[in-house]
Amino acid sequence: MLHEIRVIFGDTDQMGVVYYANYLRYFESARAAYWRALGKSYKDLEDAGVALPVVEAHCNYRRPARYEDLLVVDVDVSEMRAASLRFAYRVLRGDELLADGHTRHAVIGTDGRPRALPELLRSTIPRVVGPPR
């Protein structure tokens, strides 16, 4: 799934490049768009009694992004386990790879304990085929 983001001035550091931690915000924005593209939202997760806290995050920084760049974040679920999901990301400016990475999310219930991803949501996620192209 592809998600567009325009770099705003507040995303950049004193050197005029996107501050490294903002890539995690881009990942989050792409995850929310991913759920919306499937006809769901984080609200649906809450209604199903689950949350997906990030338990691992990794980003490889390849090239700098700058103010006003139009970025595309390619996001897919790259792994689905009984009680966790792994999202894989690629951040592109045109055909140029700027960053790639992943986040792993535990599936927890309202009591904060691990639980299985509800079938309603599991069946919504397209068949996992690996990291984004």
Enumerate the active-site residues. 13
Distance CA 4, CA 73 (A): 6
Whose tokens are 């989050």? That residue is 28
CB 66 within 8 A of CB 16: yes
Reference 26, options 77, 72, 85; nearest CA is 72
